[in-house]
Structure 1
Amino acid sequence: MSLFKTKNVWSIYCEDDETFDQNSMVVSPLNSEADFIIIGSHHGVLRMFQPVLEMNEDALQTGFKASDLILEKSFSDPILQLGVGQLVSGSSLNQLAILHPKLVAVYSLVVKEGVAEHGVQYILKLMYAHPLKRSAANFTLGHFGGTLNRDFICVQSLDGLITIFEQESYGFCCFISTFLLPGPLVYVRKTDSFFTFGSNWFIQCYKYKNLYDAGHRTSDEEPSTTSTSVLSDWDYQMNEPILEMNVQELATKEYVVMILGEQNLYCLNLYGKLKFMKRFDFSPLCFTSYVLGDNIISIVISETSTVLIYQNTTLKWSAQLNFLPINIKRANLWNLKGCLIILSDDGRLECCYLGTEPSLFVAPPLNYQELDFEKAEEELASLTKAIKELSNDEIKLSNDFLDKQFTMNLQVDPELKTCTHEDSLSMAFNNQMCQLIIDIIPHNRVGELQLSIMVHRPLKCSPTTFFHSNFKEKIQFVCDIFLDEELEVPTLKCDVVASIITENGSPRNLTKYVMLPLGLVVKFSPPQKESEVKVNLSINRDLVPISVLFPDLMQDNPMEASGNAAGFANVTECGKTTSVLLAKSSQRYRIQSDSLVSLNLMVEQMVHRLGRYFQDDEGFSINFGGLLPISPLVSCVNRHFRVRKEVVRLQEKLSVLSSQYRLIEKRLVAKLKAKTPIPLTKLGILLNDTSMDISNTIEEFMEKNAELSKVQVELECCLNALMNLIRVMDVDKKLLILIESVFQPFVCDIENQNWEDVVECNLQYLLRTSLAKSEKDKLRAECSSFEEVQDITKMEKHLSQVLERLSRKMALETFNPPEEKGSPKLIEDEKQPIGLEIGKSSSRILSARARNSNALTRIPDSKAEGNEIV
């Protein structure tokens, strides 16, 4: 922001509902010594000001006086643009041209002198008007065709029609080439040409002679848009949209065109050569320019209400404005030359000049005392301690604050209801849904509350959000949860997030979760005796019968859950059956299925229901001591990677075919516009073939995209099953937090970063830190860059290494528990040879590794150990 501000000497506001743009103001002396400020609004109101600034002994007097507004006239049509020139034949005076959507009119300002100041009358007299058959966009004035002492009018329509009016008479009209939207239009007298901005972001130059030769000179009939357009004399590529253009004449009689783009200021000569360019680090809104000696002075307004003055490409001055203008001009008023006239889009008009406001701040003298590093270190330690204590207090305060504000209770209706959502998948299968009831009990008045309910696919919640404000009594929200797709369910966990805004404006969040009924997605099925994936969960208490663990399912199927084995299958009949078996003579459950995807939900339910059953028993624990299911997870990751690559390939193919289709269309249009007929048979065949390829590619892309969605859900199931097993392996808390952050059961593939890209980086980090095989691996640099995974084999290797090292680490801790403090140590003979010591320790290590590997890989024999699984 600039340190300086502009000085306001005169300002006025127009009506509240009026709007203006960059063409709504013109500054010209007309036929007077001082400049007139003329503005026209989109509501059709024309105002003409001539401020008279009086001077006294102290300073310049500012403010608007009633006599400054010399004319105000209301038109029935909006005013699009204003212009001043010699527009009446036989007169050397200047007239005012006003452009309406369907009319261009020329007025003359008539002054009737009076005896006193208030007796002077200004009258706007209509000289002539030309109706327009097409909606106008803008216009420009100039000595077209080399005429002297008279100006012609060039009107550009919204569809690219150029119409020339030779003062009171109609001239001709024609279309310009490559037109889509109208751009700024200026005229250069020296080369007798027009400059405009095309839709292809090119500055285009059209000679007046070429326009005249191709012009249509009958005012009754205008050429159609399919007529031959005039080609430009030269083009200059801008690579960005432009806002304004104007023409300046240098002291050397050279003309240049100043162009303001969205990011740059350009200066072109009349033959399309770039003289200089200034790149901005801000977004400009409008500008004006003038010549001072051999230099071009440009005044640019930025989006931060700052006026910046450039001499060619050098910034000379900047100042802050009081508001954000849309138009800026220079004017020579009475008693003030070179004043800046700025106009906002809502009708604020102001006259100002550049000035400064001195700052009252005086910098204190510098203190050159030597630093005491020991004292600074003590102060730093005390501040760090205070910040840490304050952070802990804020966390406690936040929790206490939420408890004092409201209580949130979650309850799932145990009885499943008939699904009332016709578009859901539940209507085709079990036709059931469950209702989640959320009770909010406020203790104080709550200003704003928003509830968000989140479930995993293929489950769907309706509605997903609730909003309530300014309440102090208990309120209740009810939402329906049902199946929406024919897929396996990653988890039945439903998260509810309550967000409130405190009185001081700070946000607070409270998150709770609840388990949804198992009967919503699962039904009883005959158990399977043999399966590919098996998981054994051991508990330190007596086994709980299946009928006790699953009472909600036993109500409808009492015979299925009466034994020591039960099967569970998805209600949509997708996936594999999962069996739960109880050991006869050991405290162990076996969960088995032919797919880890189908196994996931029952692992989660067994851990959850056993924990809920023994929730009052502090010594209860669940343990998983086997090998983690690595192979099914790796297979699912491989499939997800291949399907994702196929989707990306189809996207690129579709992009190429679309570009090819557009090129063929352009070629067809070019041949249709040609004067000589050309057969279009080959292009028609190519167009049809390309269209069929696009249709086939879109169908294939939709199929692969649906397959990708399915694979994402299956991968989420595998990750959730893996995390549930790791949580019951008694993993160190710090390591468990890292593992959970890596194997989050949420798979998201964005445009430039896939799930594999993030997980691969995290796996390398684990292998070089917490799960490093040796100290040498820990010394390697940690992976901190995300790169696209090109070879899935490398990632599969890292994934297997992480899971294997985690399983091996937990097995070693189980078979070799750490020694307790204060336990007696064996006293060895001090005179025993060191080599014998090394040999004994090596043999013990080898035998321990052998026993551990046998224990991990050997499947226990049910008859030999007496642990028969029924």
Structure 2
Amino acid sequence: MSLFKVKEFWQTKCGSDEEFDGAAIAVDTINNASVVCLGSISGFLRVYSPSSSTGYDVKDLLVEQDLSSPILSVLIGKFIPSSSSPAIAVLHPKRLCVFGLNANEGGGGASLDKIYDHALGINGQHFTACNMCYGGFGGDSDRDHICVQSMDGRIQIFEQDVHAFTRRLKNVLIPGPITYVDKIDSFVTANSQLQVECYKYNVLASSQSDGSEATAQAPDEDDLKKKRRASVTTMKGVTVDWSVCVGEPVLDIKVGKFCSSERKGQVDIIVVGANCLFAISESGSIRMQKKLGYDPSSMCLFDNPSGMPNQNLIVTSFDSTMNIFREQKVIWSSKLQSVPIACFVAEFQGHRGMIVTLDDEGFLSIVFLGTDPANESVVAPESKEFNYDDVDEEHRKLLGIIRASQSDNRVEPREKVVMRTQVPKNLDPPGSIHDLDGGWEHILTSCVRQDGGILQLTAKLFLTYTGTGSVKDVTCTLNLPPCVMTKDAAINIGSLRGGSATPMIIDITFYADAYVLPTSNVVEVTAMFLTPKGEPRTAMCSMKLPMCFFCRLQEPVKEPTYKFKLETNRQPVMLATLFDDMFQVLGEEEASSVGGQTANYVLTFRYWVNDDNGVPLNATVLLSKNAGRYRVQSHCLPALWWVGKELCERISGYFAATESSESGFEMSYNEPHLPLQDFFTCVDQHHHWRARLKECQSNLNDTSHQFRTIEKRLLLRFKDRNAVPLQQLDVLMSETYHRLLDLARVVEEAQANVARSGNGLSCAVHLMLLFVKLRYRLSEEEEEVLAAHISPVVLEGEGCGWEELTDLGVTDLLRTVLAKKSGQEGEGSSTGQVRVVMPEDTNKLKKHISIAVDRIHKGARLV
């Protein structure tokens, strides 16, 4: 569908920019002339009667009157008692006024005469109007009645100069548009539950009175109380005839014949939502639904000029376009100069089909559909002889550009943020605990303290922008290991200037957690920013925290409960050489007690964390004097991981720096069996505390429900006018309250135990993955596959736990790459939905892990 410009017939500006701040508009015929009534929030009511197609004239403004109150809505109808002459109904927030429009003698303009008015809300009830509609309520075809809807969902019915009744609608938090359907004698409106509802007029009229009718005598306080109580019971009397869920906010509702049908007299309720157009039958069924694809601003129905019984529909949008629908098809599209907030179709000066629009800037326009295109069409180039050689050359160039953009060796953009870090090898000098006062209680209660201060490490982050100018709103996000804390995980930088040799330096202070064993020492930093052209970019870097941040050396101890051996094909390297950085942070007394000749063969590392009995966790490394064998031992299995990882990395790094890459250095784990039973103990402990937490939360939920039930019963007793005995409900409530507090403390303890056992399980999984890698010579790709299915990351929360996810991962391995036969690979894999729930025990998980390790032992490969 082509987009055409509309032709302007007549236009005027409705007041000044300061005065026009929203308007209500109505278009109809008064005194055999088409008029446009316009009311503003500032209180001005204007009546226009365009008399010329050459543009606005002073004579076109019939009335301009300040009503001294905001105007919410304007209607034109037969509102005068005992008269069929049209009148103007004006809705104010607290009052409804009806005016007659009378032409002045001599033909100069017109005047407004107030015929009657109504105060909204009777007998002291608060009523603030929102919108209104009109029609021949109750089948009265000779006159029009008015229905006013309030901000709290009440409707007041006025039979011209008489107030009929007041009712309250259901499910109204924010009132929606309301209209009257004459054929079914009903009101149709939209509620706050994104539904379109229909209320029969006779049902509203015959429902219980809410006490709003006027009384002949002034009511006393008792009468007012009775009427207010009656008002509450009225809510039960109003019932909905039908309801349709449209699933989106409703902009406007119109009534007409829109959809084609063989039934005569059929009407359609046209609903325009935020995204869709609906046509609903008078019985509440959806006849048509169409997605618009744009944000609608207004709509109106108008008669088909070809004489067909179906009406056409105009829908305007916030992108200044006007679309005309015939049923579901767009038969015309036009481009407007501004965004219309209201539109009507009427006849002016004998011209039918003129479109009245009011835009958001206060311009009132009368336009008609034009045939000039909104945009210039693309002119076809002159035909010329086709050169296939040029086409082939251009094709080769385009292919080169595509391959260059998809290659791995992609050229980085010149305008980027470059980050580098500087991490000290030593800790910060001991500081005061009060350095963290001011909202950092979580660090104060969990961080490690030494010498009366807080153990901390301050690293430096250097940022440089390589482009010209500057970038704004750079956000640096820190991805921390579980054992590391900092004040702010996200750092916002207002502006970063480019072209400068001096980078921006940011100090980041890290604190060690005294309750979590270290699993990793890598902190990832991600910088997110927008280039001056608005393109989103990211930059990443990582920093490794020193080993002294997580543990320290102490005098050697013998703890051979758990141990493992690493063997190398090289001569042993002295431990004092491998861990020389750990000696630099010791004082003279500590260095003398830890150092010496034994430091080359025995070193004990003490973590900042204690076990369940309050004993400090440590790990000891021993070196064989005759061969390149290293042993790591501890009284706690998870404590072996961090020291063992550091030992492997330092040995590999030492020989990589002193020998060539082709030297054939190897490290292996040659124990006869993997310590699976010790690993399964950590799994059982974690599952036990998860089950304990689930049980405690269930007890807390039951006790909370009991407490709420007792509260409700006590409230009913207190509200009762006749005092009745409490029957020990107060004692029961006090006991339940104290039980709630006790259960809350138990839940907190269970949560702490789950987190503690999860941390130990994470270290144990890391350790088992290291053993499997060294024993069965897994490649890096195979190591990644195994870690993806048996993840060392243990997440705690309301969702799936580690046991469920690991069981699914190991089962997938056994069905695919670790299947017994190559022909069985992929068999049994489930393609449907799998319900993941916490298992009652870990027997199935432990069996699957044992089978997977056994098949790797027998030679199965993961890749």
With normalisation by structure 1, the TM-score equals 0.73
- Cα distance in 2 for residues equivalent to 1:662 and 1:237: 34
1:127-276 mapped onto 2 (5 Å cutoff): 127-132=115-120, 133-144=126-137, 149-168=142-161, 170-176=163-169, 180-189=173-182, 193-199=186-192, 201=195, 202-207=197-202, 209-210=205-206, 215-218=211-214, 223-224=227-228, 227-229=232-234, 231-232=237-238, 234-239=240-245, 240=247, 242-248=250-256, 252=264, 257-260=269-272, 263=276, 265-269=278-282, 272-274=283-285, 276=287
Equivalent in the alignment of 2:633: 592
Distance 1:211 1:612, change over 3 A: same
What is the deviation of 1:615? Answer: 6.0
Distance 2:714 2:353 in 1: 55
Q: Tell me the residue number matched to 1:437.
A: 460
Aligned counterpart for 2:476 among listed residues 427, 442, 451: 451
* Cα deviation digits, residues 572-607 of structure 1 (max 9, x gap): 424643222222322222223344433222233323
C-alpha spacing 1:604/1:19, structure 2 compared with 1 (3 Å): farther
Alignment partner of 1:527 out of 543, 557, 562 = 557
Partner of 1:397: 412
Partner of 2:486: 461
- Change in 2 beyond 3 A, CA 1:595/1:217: same
Give the structure 2 partner of residue 542 of structure 1.
572
Whether the 8 Å contact between 1:406 and 1:443 is mirrored in structure 2 is yes
Partners of 2:742 and 2:279 in 1: how far apart?
47
CA contact (8 A) 2:278 2:286 kept: no
Q: Name 2:77's counterpart in structure 1.
A: 85
Give the whole-Å Cα distance in 2 for the aligned partners of 1:534 and 1:166: 94
CA contact (8 A) 1:426 1:482 kept: no
The 5 A counterparts of 1:463-482 are 463-464=488-489, 465-471=491-497, 472=500, 473-482=502-511
- 1:383-782 aligned within 5 A: 387-392=402-407, 395-398=410-413, 406=418, 408-412=420-424, 414-416=426-428, 417-418=430-431, 419=433, 420-422=435-437, 423=441, 424=443, 425-426=445-446, 429-430=449-450, 431-441=454-464, 445=468, 447-448=470-471, 449-464=474-489, 465-471=491-497, 472=500, 473-483=502-512, 486-502=515-531, 504-524=533-553, 527-532=557-562, 534=564, 536=566, 538=568, 540-546=570-576, 548=580, 550-552=582-584, 554-555=586-587, 557-558=590-591, 559-560=593-594, 562=596, 563=598, 564-574=601-611, 576-610=617-651, 616-619=657-660, 621=665, 623-626=667-670, 630-631=676-677, 636=682, 708-722=754-768, 731-739=778-786, 741-742=788-789, 745-748=792-795, 763=810, 766=813, 774-778=821-825, 780=827
Tell me if the contact between 1:49 and 1:70 (Cα under 8 Å) persists in the aligned partners. yes
Q: Deviations over 1:501-523 (max 9, x none)?
A: 44555444433222224344434
CA contact (8 A) 2:208 2:234 kept: no
Distance, in Å, in 1 between the alignment partners of 2:760 and 2:19 is 59
Distance between the aligned counterparts of 1:521 and 1:447, measured in 2? 39
Inter-partner Cα distance in structure 1 for 2:370 and 2:4: 6
Partners in 2 of 1:26 and 1:658 — Cα distance?
Answer: 57
Matched, 1:338 2:373: no
User: How far does the alpha carbon of each residue in 1:202-255 deviate from its partner, in whole angstroms, 9 at most, with x for none?
Assistant: 433342532695553227677437532152354313234544334448995566
8 Å Cα contact 2:423-2:544 kept in structure 1: no
Tell me the equivalent position of 1:839. Answer: none
Residues 298-343 of structure 1, C-alpha deviations (whole Å, 9 max, x = no match): 444567766555555x435363654655444333333542344444
Q: How many residues align?
A: 784
Distance 1:658 1:143, change over 3 A: farther
Kept in 1: contact 2:717–2:726 (CA 8 A): no
Cα deviation, residue 467, structure 1: 1.5
Equivalent position of 1:850 in the other structure: none
* Kept after mapping to 2: 8 A contact 1:753/1:788: no
Q: Give the distance between the partners of 2:692 and 2:21, measured in 1 at CA.
A: 53
Q: Does 1:104 align with 2:112?
A: no
Determine if contact 1:549/1:609 at 8 Å carries over to the other structure.
no
Distance 1:78 1:499, change over 3 A: same
Structure 1: unaligned runs, 5 residues or longer: 55-60, 814-870
In structure 1, what is the Cα distance between the partners aligned to 2:534 and 2:830?
40
Give the Å deviation of 1:477. Answer: 0.4
| C-alpha distance 258-395 of structure 1, shift in aligned 2 (>3 A) | closer
Change (3 A) 1:498 1:428: closer
- Give the letter for the 2:198 counterpart: I
SS in 2 for 1:228: helix
Q: Distance in 2 between matches of 1:504 and 1:27?
A: 48
Aligned to 1:7: 6
Return the offset for 1:478.
Answer: 0.7
Q: Give TM-score, length-normalised by structure 2.
A: 0.74
For the 8 Å contact 1:543–1:588, the answer to whether it is kept is: no
The answer to which of 278-287 and 488-497 deviates more is: 278-287
Q: What SS is found at the alignment partner of 1:467?
A: strand
Q: Could you list the runs of 5+ residues in structure 2 that have no partner in the other structure?
A: 121-125
Which residue matches 2:33?
A: 33
Q: What secondary structure does 1:557 align onto?
A: helix
| Amino acid corresponding to residue 228 of structure 1 in structure 2 | T
Distance 1:82 1:635, change over 3 A: farther
**Structure 2 residue aligned with 1:826:** none
Residues 13/775 of structure 1: CA separation in 2 closer, same or farther (3 Å cut): farther
Secondary structure, counterpart of 1:601 in structure 2:
helix
- Displacement of 1:469 after TM fit? 2.0
Structure 1 residues 129 and 381: CA distance shift in structure 2, 3 A: same
Task: Determine what percentage of the aligned residue pairs are the same residue.
Answer: 22
Contact 1:622 1:728 in 2 (8 A): no
Verify the 8 A CA contact 1:595 1:632 in the aligned structure 2.
Answer: no
Could you tell me which residue of structure 1 aligns to residue 123 of structure 2?
Answer: none
Aligned partners of 2:756 and 2:772: how far apart in 1? 25
Measured in 1, the distance between the counterparts of 2:332 and 2:744 equals 55
Q: C-alpha offsets along residues 36-95 of structure 1, whole Å, 9 cap, x if unaligned? A: 2x34344545454445663xxxxxx7x767766655555554332222223344554322
- Residues 634 and 796 in structure 1, CA contact (< 8 A), matched pair in contact too: yes
Instruction: Measure the CA separation in 2 of the matches of 1:678 and 1:5.
Output: 77
